[in-house]
Amino acid sequence: MYTIADLPIDNRLRTVQYDLELETALRRMFENGYTQVGVERDGELVGIVTYRSVVRTLLAFHQLDVGHKTLDKISVGAAVEDAHTVSEDETVLAVFDALAEHTYIVVDGGEAWQILTDYDLLTRLKRMLEPFLLIESIEMRLRELLARAFGDALSDELAATFDEDHPLPTPASVDHCSYAHYAQFISIHWAEFEPIFDDQQDVIRELVLEIGDMRNRLFHFRVDDPEEFDRDLLRFGQSYFSSV
């Protein structure tokens, strides 16, 4: 199981001192685009200040009939809330559990504190899931296009094309086809597919085979660096097949 240390977190937690004026802390947050900052006292992290915790503090002062206090008269310490700290040795599932309750967590990396927000997690999830979703979308569309070309006769045509003498296994239905099946079937029956794809036979074949190769690498965990995965080609394929 992956741990939090395996996540590509690169958000160092910025901190302010416990006795700093709240107004100054808010200005720093606003100028740097932070939604929260850590609070230190005597070199120790004692919590977090967020815009929400500041509003809660001001509402509490108002309720206590001391609402006349201005932000430059209130110290950061008055608005501190729990840092929701997790160790980097926790499993990644701990991130989901923690961010289901809070909008951020602080990761204790031993030498430095890192901040991970729910937005960061959603962004990373999108980055991770996008290739899977694009590949699935393309495959579902290819099945629809095969069915458009052959209708109810599709299963029989697949069985006849990929018979026992063919190196690819005979698919029981279009749902059992691989990308290699799609590429060869479209090429062999180009006369039926040309009205759909115009005169792009070589382009279609190579595109389907390339996406199939990416699918196999991805689903069999043979992608060394996910950041180098050709997402642009997948996006092109999804857009192209969706438009025909």
Say if CB 57 and CB 34 are below 8 A apart. Answer: no
Say if CB 196 and CB 149 are below 8 A apart. Answer: yes
Tell me the pLDDT tens digit for each residue of 45-97. 999 999 999 999 888 887 887 656 677 788 999 999 999 988 888 888 888 88
Q: In terms of pLDDT, which residue wins out, 228 or 106?
A: 106
Residue range 104-109: mean pLDDT, rounded: 86
Q: Would you say residue 160 has pLDDT above 90?
A: yes
For residue 124, the model assigns a pLDDT of 80
Neighbour-count burial for 125-142, b at 16+ CB within 10 Å, e otherwise: eeeeeebeebbebbbebb
What lies within 8 Å, CB to CB, of 65 at 6+ separation is none
Record the pTM: 0.72
Distances (CA, A) of 53 to 47, 104, 216, 219: 11, 13, 48, 43
Strands of the 85-87 sheet, one edge to the other: 85-87, 104-108, 113-117
> Binning pLDDT at 50, 70 and 90, where does residue 208 land?
very high
